[in-house]
């Protein structure tokens, strides 16, 4: 059975595990961490759709996260929304984040690399300062979320399943985009933007579309997070640690892959939350997050998923190369070798290709 055939089955099994998780682990602390993790996983996948595919590293996605949070807060206050209906406000949260991404993208996407990163950081500070100084956002004391009177034992469940739905949608979107024409254009831009333009790729609209899609999902994640946490104040709704976390998650799992950011979030977010609870010290997890980032950049620059996939492929290629394989295989191998006059090279190439396939 090939990798390809296993993958949908694996994804489905994983989904089933996530779906029954809150039924099995009913402890409030565990389910709180689980909701938080799913929200961050969705945000990391969204970030990866833009930054992972185009290579434009954004450190300003907290702008959209915070915008989503405040949108839900302001709308709920203005329209006296509570209970399940608050989830409907994720729609305006998406719209505001997406609407904000258009002008910001038009400005920032004119420049590349370091300059782009610096501009996104500037956006971040502008957003945080704005939220601190406006009266509609409640200034430095922020804004409170409506508190639904759900049953205590299953209080986290609605949040959990909405977050899971968001994660499933954005991951499916990420997969769809990656294999599409649009995704190919994004990845061509990552490799050589000018060359892509020279081959007819309309780079600005393509980059901007990815930026807006990414912002919309991040805004929804922010709105959900706000409703879950219960309040938004400027330094937490627009949190530099949000950007750092999302970036580390994507890098850890594998930048530009589909499953990488999900894996990164599943490992890093619970660890962070657990450390904070265990030692009741927020800074410890921040220091460790920084240290982990360094380790990933130095030791696994391509991330866990691509590196692991390559190791597996190498291992398989070596096993296949060992004599004693079925006669049919040997004949095929000999034929391939004869055709190329270079069996080793062919084998290495097959390994690389398998690795690339698996890395998706």
Q: Can you tell me which of 77, 187, 314, 316 binds another protein, judged by CB under 8 A?
A: 187
User: Closer CB to another protein, residue 4 or residue 356?
Assistant: 356
Q: Which of residues 193-212 bind another protein (CB under 8 A)?
A: 194-203
Q: Can you tell me which of 181, 278, 311, 320 binds another protein, judged by CB under 8 A?
A: 181
Cα–Cα separations (whole angstroms), residue 212 to 61, 73, 209, 261:
11, 22, 5, 19
How many whole angstroms separate alpha carbon 112 and alpha carbon 56? 7
Neighbours of 198 (CB within 10 A): 9
Q: Do strands 231-232 and 143-144 pair parallel, antiparallel, or not at all (unpaired)?
A: antiparallel
User: Closer CB to another protein, residue 26 or residue 110?
Assistant: 110
Q: Which of these, 89, 122, 126, lies nearest to 219 by C-alpha position?
A: 89
Given the rule CB under 8 A, which of 104-112, 172-180, 240-248, 258-266 is the region that contacts another protein? Answer: 172-180
Q: Can you tell me which of 150, 182, 236, 274 binds another protein, judged by CB under 8 A?
A: 182
User: Closer CB to another protein, residue 193 or residue 243?
Assistant: 193
Q: Are residues 224 and 89 in contact, defined by beta-carbon separation less than 8 angstroms?
A: no
Q: Which residue has the tokens 């590293």?
A: 57
Question: Binding pattern to another protein, positions 300-339, x when CB under 8 A?
Answer: ----------------------------------------
How many whole angstroms separate alpha carbon 220 and alpha carbon 306? 29
Q: Can you tell me which of 192, 282, 329, 344 binds another protein, judged by CB under 8 A?
A: 192
- By the rule CB under 8 A, 353 interacts with another protein: yes
Q: Can you tell me which of 45, 94, 166, 188 binds another protein, judged by CB under 8 A?
A: 188
Instruction: State in angstroms the smallest separation of the CB of 176 from another protein.
Output: 6
User: Closer CB to another protein, residue 319 or residue 356?
Assistant: 356
Neighbours of 286 (CB within 10 A): 16
Cα–Cα separations (whole angstroms), residue 63 to 43, 125, 221, 237, 339:
12, 9, 12, 8, 56
Binding residues for another protein, rule: CB under 8 A, are 176-177, 179-185, 187-188, 190-192, 194-203, 349, 352-353, 356
């Amino acid at each position: 059975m090939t990798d390809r055939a296993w993958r949908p089955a694996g994804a489905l099994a994983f989904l089933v595990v996530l779906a029954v998780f809150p039924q099995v682990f009913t402890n409030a602390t565990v389910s709180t961490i689980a909701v938080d993790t799913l929200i961050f996983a969705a945000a990391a996948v969204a970030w990866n759709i833009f930054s992972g595919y185009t290579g434009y590293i954004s450190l300003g996605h907290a702008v959209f996260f915070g915008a989503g949070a405040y949108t839900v807060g302001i709308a709920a206050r203005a329209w006296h929304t509570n209970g399940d209906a608050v989830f409907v406000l994720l729609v305006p949260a998406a719209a505001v984040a997406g609407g904000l991404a258009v002008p910001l993208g038009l400005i920032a996407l004119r420049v590349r690399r370091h300059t782009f990163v610096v501009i996104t950081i500037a956006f971040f500070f502008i957003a945080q300062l704005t939220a601190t100084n406006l009266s509609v956002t409640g200034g430095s004391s922020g804004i409170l979320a409506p508190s639904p009177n759900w049953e205590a034992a299953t209080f986290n469940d609605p949040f959990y399943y909405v977050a899971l739905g968001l994660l499933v949608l954005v991951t499916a979107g990420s997969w769809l985009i990656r294999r599409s024409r649009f995704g190919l254009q994004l990845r061509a831009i990552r490799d050589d933007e000018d060359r892509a333009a020279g081959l007819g790729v309309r780079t600005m609209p393509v980059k901007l579309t990815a930026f807006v899609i990414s912002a919309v999902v991040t805004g929804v994640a922010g709105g959900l997070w706000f409703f879950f946490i219960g309040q938004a104040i400027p330094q937490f709704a627009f949190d530099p640690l949000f950007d750092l976390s999302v970036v580390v998650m994507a890098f850890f799992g594998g930048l530009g892959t589909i499953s990488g950011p999900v894996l990164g979030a599943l490992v890093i977010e619970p660890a962070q939350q657990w450390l904070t609870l265990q030692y009741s010290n927020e800074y410890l997890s921040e220091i460790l997050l920084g240290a982990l980032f360094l380790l990933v950049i130095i030791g696994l620059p391509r991330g866990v998923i691509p590196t692991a996939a390559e190791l597996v492929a190498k291992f398989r290629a070596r096993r296949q190369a060992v004599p004693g394989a079925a006669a049919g295989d040997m004949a095929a191998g000999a034929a391939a070798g004869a055709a190329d006059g270079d069996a080793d090279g062919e084998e290495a190439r097959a390994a690389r290709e398998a690795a690339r396939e698996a890395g998706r």
